[in-house]
Chains A and B, each alone.
Chain A
């Protein structure tokens, strides 16, 4: 069931929600949280689709906040709020309100959202694109227990990751971190099987993918060993190699779906490690709403420190695989890997990588 409201207010939207629920005969629903999606018109459809799929696991009220650009000074002066209320089969297993903001009200989105939050239930804000630099201090972010960003979708993911580390507040999380949960869980399972000492690690993945950095920082933080990063053609992360006292442990996924786990002295094994859809990532994010301390610790480890540690123990430059850490460390350790990567990456190569990212 859909209700369109033009030039409306939050209280009229609330009324429409109550009437709508009565009309379809479900006066009480067990929704567990409010999910606020802040996006532009271009990304709204995909984000809402993912949220609706995720709502099958976590029935929620989804508020999509779309900030419309104004084309003229007159437009800018005329503040207006349009809403589309969806209930029942049109809204996954919850309620959806799509809010379109015009003019001045764009800067006061929290005044629209606040009256529409479910009582008592937790609030999650998700920015599929264009996340604010400091999510916790954003007016909408301040309403939420949990703030979900996605550095993968950023123009300069690596810089943005560093910025996130600077402004981290408990409750922040990033989908680039969510994406590597299966990798982390498989690597932890691999170390369950072998009693050994890890001496160093290598992580390879496509460029402009902050998951590579996050996984490397997590390994460095947990294992206290130097971790090198290298570029590959993707998709996503392609391999992790742990050097251990019991020989190398390699998790290799060239095709984005089936990986091979090799442990010295044991036969190679195929393990399913498929790249997941956004809906699955959001569902994982909504499963726990307490601060993610492991993410915080990994993020704060810092890319600079990662490069320094890797440079100190890096083997002589004859190992050509290591294109990131070694050259950038030699020229200017403070510049970080992205400086080296920018120089190396021709513009033509960047485009397909971005396309894969969007998928």
Chain B
């Protein structure tokens, strides 16, 4: 005889073949007709199902204004999956998914639509056994957040009853400054308790980003040098080769710093600089991240420690590109930054005096995200100056995307009769050592939402601390000067190079 009282006798921690399968649940996507939903969310749901990680009876509800029937919605998901899914299309997986697919048509302010959503959820609980567990994914512009959240509350959709759960998933931007972020948090937390709100920063779902923690805390090779005694400085770069595309309305007035530095780059900084967490659970991780973000200090003279730029006309990768100010829908007087570089310091024993340079931009040389930890030069060299002329600084580079992996750069003797030392790279590539198995960030994050595992989601405190770091810079920029122009397809304005040159350093070419 065997009793199932909470503990499932078929589950065993030692049995590592059995995957973490989400419990009975469903996902409601608001703004299901959008790009994100089509390119990322729907394929991720399919890939999860294909890998056998979704519970039997998993349900997907689409909510949008478009006049669709369930079948039209299913067709749309089908097309999106065929086009964008990572794993091969398999009919039997599709048959399993399609049974739980529903569409609810309506505006966000329509009470009937939300009543219908409620009925759909109740129907699915009966037909699919979802047990009242639903996650609401708000893939909508931030101005609709308050409305949707209030509607969920009004129609009792956010109520967690009889051990079931309701969760809210929100995408960036989490406000445009500290005040608006607080306001947004209040709106969401009025309806959902803090532990039921999942803020998606898709960077944190990437394998390489999770690998930062493995690299630092599972090895003995790196951590002893990971401090001010050995590290000269750290560069965190996220470069895009595209312009703003059709996002003029969203982008103008927001800019690169708010769009990228506030969330992605400061999260990468936190993971790179934080102390070892007591354990790998969500609370311990958040505690360390919050601590290090709280210790971030801005340099006194922001004119020397920050640079912003706008891309000017030029050639990017063999294609002619217009400047930001000539983009359609952009005010020719706009002061919005499409490039931002800032220097930060961390006031703690480990990092005092080690600058962290963060930069991001559009229409740069190529699409790349990386963290480079650059080490100090050897304090004494037995080799004479000419033999080490070509020796740079040692560096550990964590390549986040594309071509995920880790590069270590160090000097090595050039073959020959002379003692000549030159930089070489030692590469670890995810694509080589564990080919193909890396799941997409959204797969991991959606699964974590369904499992209620909040390790990889930034918390309220982290979001607010990030704004506290960025707000003074944005205020300074508002009052002083205007963005420097840089030619499209280059690595940013000369002012940014000068900023590092003043410190006797230079940007890596990623």
Contacts and interface: CB of A to CB of B under 8 A. Distances in A.
Interface of A: 28-32, 56-59, 93, 178, 181-182, 184-199, 219, 222-225, 257-258, 261, 263, 266-267, 269-274, 284, 288, 290, 292-294
A185 B128 contact: no
A187 B10 contact: yes
Given A93-B435, A272-B95, A198 B4 contact: yes
A272 B93 contact: yes
Contacts of B17: 178, 181, 184-185, 284, 288, 292, 294
A225 to B, nearest CB: 6
Interface stretch (B52-60, B73-81, B106-114): B52-60
A14 B434 CA distance: 24
Interface stretch (B18-26, B143-151, B164-172, B289-297): B18-26
A195 B18 contact: no
What is the interface of chain A mostly: helix, strand, loop, or mixed? mixed
B92 A258 contact: yes
Contact of B128 (A191, A269, A274, A290): A269
A57 B14 contact: no
B55 A189 contact: yes
A292 to B, nearest CB: 7
25 contacts: A30-B429, A30-B432, A57-B435, A93-B435, A181-B17, A184-B15, A184-B17, A185-B17, A188-B10, A188-B11, A189-B21, A191-B4, A193-B131, A195-B5, A197-B2, A197-B4, A198-B9, A219-B10, A223-B9, A267-B127, A269-B56, A270-B92, A270-B95, A272-B52, A293-B14
B11 to A, nearest CB: 5
A271 B24 CA distance: 13
A267 B128 contact: yes
Contacts of A182: 52
B301 interface: no
A186 B8 CA distance: 13
B23 A222 contact: no
B16 interface: yes
Contact of B57 (A184, A269, A293): A269
B126 interface: yes
Given A59-B435, A185-B21, A190-B56, A197 B1 contact: yes
A72 to B, nearest CB: 45
Contacts of A267: 126-129
Contacts of A184: 10, 15, 17-18
Nearest to B98: A270
Nearest to A251: B56
Nearest to A28: B427
Interface of B: 1-6, 8-12, 14-19, 21, 23-24, 49-50, 52, 55-57, 90, 92-93, 95-96, 99, 126-129, 131, 427-429, 432-437
Contacts of A196: 4
Contacts of A290: 16
Nearest to B3: A197
A74 B116 CA distance: 84
Contacts of A58: 434-435
Question: Which of A29, A192, A267, A274 has the most B CB atoms < 10 Å from its CB?
Answer: A192
Nearest to B10: A188
A263 B14 contact: no
A192 B55 CA distance: 9
A186 B429 CA distance: 34
B14 A195 contact: no
A34 to B, nearest CB: 14
B5 A32 contact: no
Contacts of A59: 432-433, 435
A28 B428 CA distance: 10
Contacts of A178: 17
A239 B90 CA distance: 22
Nearest to A29: B432
A224 B10 CA distance: 11
A298 to B, nearest CB: 10
Contacts of B11: 188, 192
Question: Which of B16, B23, B131, B432 has the most A CB atoms < 10 Å from its CB?
Answer: B432
Contacts of A56: 435-436
Contacts of B3: 197
Nearest to A93: B435
Contacts of A271: 56, 96
Contacts of B2: 197-198, 222-225
A24 to B, nearest CB: 14
Given A258-B95, A258-B96, A222 B429 contact: no
A198 B5 CA distance: 11
Contacts of A288: 16-17
Nearest to B20: A185
A273 B435 CA distance: 25
Contacts of B9: 191, 198, 222-224
Question: Which of B3, B5, B6 has the most A CB atoms < 10 Å from its CB?
Answer: B3
Contacts of B127: 267
The 3 A-B pairs of least Cβ separation, nearest first, read A30-B432, A294-B15, A30-B433
Contacts of A223: 2, 9-10
A266 B125 CA distance: 9
Nearest to B433: A30
Given A56-B435, A194-B4, A225-B1, A272 B90 contact: yes
Contact of B52 (A185, A190, A225): A185
A21 B24 CA distance: 50
Contacts of B56: 186, 189-190, 193, 261, 269, 271
Question: Which of B1, B5, B17, B437 has the most A CB atoms < 10 Å from its CB?
Answer: B17
A28 to B, nearest CB: 8
Contacts of B52: 182, 185-186, 272
A193 B129 contact: yes
Contacts of B429: 30
Contacts of A273: 92
Contacts of B10: 184, 187-188, 191, 219, 222-223
Question: Which of B5, B9, B11 has the most A CB atoms < 10 Å from its CB?
Answer: B9
A272 B14 contact: no
B435 to A, nearest CB: 5
A118 to B, nearest CB: 12
A268 B118 CA distance: 22
Nearest to A194: B4
A223 B12 CA distance: 12
B4 A57 contact: no
A258 B129 CA distance: 19
A32 to B, nearest CB: 5
A30 B18 contact: no
